Structure 1
Amino acid sequence: MITQKTITFLISLLICGTISAQLPTKKYEKKIDSLILTGFGNQNEPGGVFTVTQKGKTLYRKSFGKANLELDVNMTPENVFQIGSMTKQFTSVSILILEQQGKLKVDDPISKYIKDYPNGDKITVHHLLTHTSGIKDFTKMKSLSSIAQKEMEPKAMVDFFKNEPVDFAPGEKFDYNNSGYVVLGYIIELVSGDTYENFIRKNIFDKIGMTHSYYASDRKIIPQRAYGYHKKEHGFVNKTIISFSVPFSSGSLMSTADDLLKWQQALNQNTLLNSQETQKAFQKYKLNNGEEFTYGYGWHLKEINGTPDREHGGSVFGFKSMGVYIPEEDMYIIGLSNCDCHSPTEITRDIAKITLAEIKASAKKH
């Protein structure tokens, strides 16, 4: 028979256990709060959203500042942001989906799809995916301002930079390049017979339930949209308007922190790609001279305190984004900002460092 004394003892054990489980959480939360507040501390300015999950469990999920200054609307963790170059992950996985379907190969020369592309028989899809093609990055071209607000067809966008002098021979160097990812978007359209926007929606967003992710638009009504801002000497201004057909498949998607977690989980679970194709995205490759570089297909492959990670940021007028995934701990950290004056890049990496240290310290105790 269980005595009152035993019941009291068990309850006290349970209470102590709960407290000891909560204490590190509160302490951890305060550490992350103070880190984020260094860059996102003013609640009357544009802000951001930061989330940390491990094995699908939320460790941290908070919003800071305003989603809309004019209407004085506070940011929430559900707000939709432009994610800039984090778009490249979706473009690279789309290429691998087409490869899995037998419709292209990453070793194919791009001349197979775009007949008149200069040196197209030497530049492969793989070169575009890994930023080793040597083609001119359109964001560095002075004439960019002449098309920035025009509605550009993908072919016209490719024609805009394809005849520029190349920076180096294919495979000779790694040099981060937006043009390569625009060409990839055009190839996706040519091979699939669909628009890039539709392809991403049908094959990724709809398939894995990313219900708050979109190809960006300034005209469509997008529920929970966070507005983008620049900071000037006299204060904040609304972001510069550009045509999303210009960054296209190199930087035109919108998403939320929660949807990006669904994306990461789908990659882990091989929902979209088989393990062989997935592996291609997350392995390091070599240049022509045999030197290894730290980029896969749409992800930088780096380390945080000696622990391998996969990461990528994004920057587009009015917005900055950063995602860090640590496979060893199944840990995903996302930082999204609605002002290009607040960068979440280093903060997101620092959150990863703190979280890793906490997990390792906790593992030692137990």
Structure 2
Amino acid sequence: MKQVLWLLLLINIVVIRQINANTPAETSEGWSSNIEQFESELSDLQTQLDIPGLAYVVIKNGDVIAKSSLGYEQGEKTNRRPFLTSTPLRIASVTKSLTAVVIMQLVEEGMLKLDTSVKALLPDEDISPEITLNHLLTHTSEGKIGETYVYSTSRYALLGKVIEKVTQKALAKVFGERLIAATDMKAFDSPYLGSHAGFVSNVNEMTHYFKALDKGVLLRPESMQRLVNPSRSTQGTKLPVSLGWFAQKVQGQDIVWSFGQDDPDHSGALWVYLPKHHLTLFILANANTLSDPFRLLMGDARKSPFAMSFMRNFVFSAPGQPIPLMLPAKNKEARTDNGYDFSNEWVAHALVDIWTGKSDDGLRKLQAANAFSLDDKERDPIVHFSALRLDEPEVKDSALKMGEGLLQDQPNNRWILLAQGYLLQQRGRDSDAASCFNRILNLPNQQQDFLHRLFSVWSWTALAQITMENEPTKAKRYLTKVINSGIKGESLENAKALLETLSEWL
């Protein structure tokens, strides 16, 4: 009986693979072993991160060398409908990268200038007149304007209003004319479309778009180059973004990329593009764990094991000679003979471990990669954040020292302030922790959006915990602010529980 069940399972896997596979044999010649290894690694990550289904495409020199899908549609535990490359979903914040293309088209046509004040275009918006389109595109519009990168979806969303103002057309129509029709994509209804998120598509249709982008159909070469080159702050510091695209070097290779992180059970997306290699990856999944565990909003694609598997298999490996994944082991060096450095992937896989509750395994990988280095160039806000889920006091202390350095460079970055405050709280340094949370509450030039409210709630709750024992009246005021903020879910329930405990003390 067991043999029959295994045979049926094997047949089912083969059938699903045949249904899902869309790899054109004529263009994948020579890459078959790379594709096989890459897809095996995708499948492993899919299982670890509990992603029901995902689809991907790899494009090189205008040809699809791999396109396939794995798993099932969300919630299909009974019907088991396969997730396909034709399955449409919101691509979430990868929409931002499309918006950047439209903005650059309007710049080419003389309809916009990047140094134009947003307030001049949108006089009704409550925003400083010093903030320009460039600041929105580079996520440098909050805190000290132009100085600090802080990912801001709500500010980026203002670009949609700008586009509609100068074109006198709805954003959906602009996207339809300038992106969908121009690249022969099939259009899907996108009821939640904004310049920041909400575009609905699938892997098949996005393939048309990425081919056109690489061929220069959508933008002039000088505009493409501007989107590839990282921008700089007003102080000359290189930013992790160009204009709406993330831009960085990974082991000497220039890449641009974008990620999407929708509601947990809806979608996640990842786009990675190497212009010099004319090489593209796009992944669309029906769970946001494609992105969420890796803090990609901090601007480092190296933290994504999906991105790094792609880089290793298709950039650093020759066709037919894929470099196998090597995780830390005794007496093994991080760097291979051909120069590929595994330490980036060790950190990425450590984040998978930490997310899935295997913190001991994650810590071993982080330590093998020397991730808690205090070297100025190696200060890592994502590693800093990961220490919150690690138990070892010495690790938290190392992370705190790293946080001090990060805040010297980025004093108004609320994400770093939040993680540092929590770490200080975990180490019993309540006064220093309170200072971090108060700094968050008093940051200048903040968009009054949901995320701002959430940071306020997190800070008030932490301050209430810190003051409960010695200043209960102050703690009650903080918790009352949380309850009156309109926030819902776990944050609200935590505040109510703390207030109930406090009431018993008073």
Q: Which residue is 1:214 aligned to?
A: 188
Query: In 2 relative to 1, CA 119–79 (structure 1 residues): closer, same or farther, beyond 3 Å?
Result: closer
Q: Which residue is 1:220 aligned to?
A: none
Q: Which residue is 2:69 aligned to?
A: 63
Aligned counterparts of 1:333 and 1:351: Cα–Cα separation in 2: 7
Q: Which residue is 1:38 aligned to?
A: 44
Aligned counterparts of 2:61 and 2:132: Cα–Cα separation in 1: 36
Query: In 2 relative to 1, CA 55–170 (structure 1 residues): closer, same or farther, beyond 3 Å?
Result: same
Shift of 1:30: 2.6
Shift of 1:280: 2.3
- Deviation string 1:57-93 (CA, Å, 9 cap, x unpaired) is 2222111111253442111222222111100011111
Q: Which residue is 1:230 aligned to?
A: none
Shift of 1:271: 1.7
Q: Which residue is 1:52 aligned to?
A: 58
Match of 2:90 among 73, 77, 82: 82
Contact 1:130 1:296 (C-alpha < 8 Å) held by counterparts: yes
Q: Which residue is 1:354 aligned to?
A: 313
Structure 2's unaligned 5+ residue stretches are 1-26, 293-303, 322-337, 339-506
Contact 2:62 2:215 (C-alpha < 8 Å) held by counterparts: no
Please, what is the CA RMSD of the aligned residues? 2.7
Q: Which residue is 1:329 aligned to?
A: 277
Shift of 1:210: 1.3
Match of 1:132 among 133, 136, 140: 140
Contact 1:335 1:348 (C-alpha < 8 Å) held by counterparts: no
Q: Which residue is 1:277 aligned to?
A: 223
Amino acid at match of 2:66: Y
Query: In 2 relative to 1, CA 215–48 (structure 1 residues): closer, same or farther, beyond 3 Å?
Result: same
Q: Which residue is 1:250 aligned to?
A: 196
Query: In 2 relative to 1, CA 206–332 (structure 1 residues): closer, same or farther, beyond 3 Å?
Result: same
Q: Any residues of structure 2 matched to 1:1-366 within 5 Å, and which?
A: 25-41=31-47, 46-70=52-76, 71-134=79-142, 168-211=143-186, 213-214=187-188, 216-217=190-191, 244=192, 248-317=194-263, 318-343=266-291, 345-359=304-318
Aligned counterparts of 2:82 and 2:261: Cα–Cα separation in 1: 22
- Deviation string 1:316-357 (CA, Å, 9 cap, x unpaired) is 111110011112221111111102244494213312222112
* SS of residue matched to 1:308: strand
Amino acid at match of 1:48: L
Contact 2:91 2:268 (C-alpha < 8 Å) held by counterparts: yes
Q: Which residue is 2:453 aligned to?
A: none
Choose between structure 1 and 2: higher helix proportion. Answer: 2
Contact 1:51 1:334 (C-alpha < 8 Å) held by counterparts: yes
Query: In 2 relative to 1, CA 113–36 (structure 1 residues): closer, same or farther, beyond 3 Å?
Result: same
The alignment of Structure 1 onto Structure 2 pairs a total of residues equal to 281
- Deviation string 1:263-305 (CA, Å, 9 cap, x unpaired) is 2222233322222222222222111111111211121112333
* SS of residue matched to 2:166: helix
Choose between structure 1 and 2: higher strand proportion. Answer: 1
Identity %: 21
Aligned counterparts of 2:178 and 2:137: Cα–Cα separation in 1: 19
Contact 1:52 1:59 (C-alpha < 8 Å) held by counterparts: yes
Query: In 2 relative to 1, CA 110–262 (structure 1 residues): closer, same or farther, beyond 3 Å?
Result: same
Amino acid at match of 1:91: T
Contact 1:91 1:181 (C-alpha < 8 Å) held by counterparts: no
Amino acid at match of 1:359: A
Shift of 1:117: 3.3
- Deviation string 1:175-210 (CA, Å, 9 cap, x unpaired) is 111012211001111111111111101111111111
Aligned counterparts of 1:29 and 1:124: Cα–Cα separation in 2: 43
* SS of residue matched to 1:279: helix
Aligned counterparts of 1:346 and 1:130: Cα–Cα separation in 2: 25
Query: In 2 relative to 1, CA 76–299 (structure 1 residues): closer, same or farther, beyond 3 Å?
Result: same
Query: In 2 relative to 1, CA 264–173 (structure 1 residues): closer, same or farther, beyond 3 Å?
Result: same
TM-score, length basis structure 2: 0.52
Aligned counterparts of 1:202 and 1:74: Cα–Cα separation in 2: 32
Aligned counterparts of 1:264 and 1:270: Cα–Cα separation in 2: 10
Contact 1:285 1:293 (C-alpha < 8 Å) held by counterparts: yes
* SS of residue matched to 1:64: strand
Aligned counterparts of 1:195 and 1:202: Cα–Cα separation in 2: 11
Contact 2:28 2:65 (C-alpha < 8 Å) held by counterparts: no
Contact 1:62 1:77 (C-alpha < 8 Å) held by counterparts: yes
Q: Which protein shows a greater Rg?
A: 2
Contact 1:123 1:170 (C-alpha < 8 Å) held by counterparts: yes
Contact 2:268 2:286 (C-alpha < 8 Å) held by counterparts: yes
* SS of residue matched to 2:307: helix
Aligned counterparts of 2:139 and 2:257: Cα–Cα separation in 1: 15
* SS of residue matched to 2:73: strand
* SS of residue matched to 1:28: helix
- Deviation string 1:113-145 (CA, Å, 9 cap, x unpaired) is 1114345420001100110111xxxxxxxxxxx
* SS of residue matched to 2:316: helix
TM-score, length basis structure 1: 0.70
Aligned counterparts of 1:192 and 1:350: Cα–Cα separation in 2: 41
* SS of residue matched to 1:67: coil
* SS of residue matched to 1:170: coil
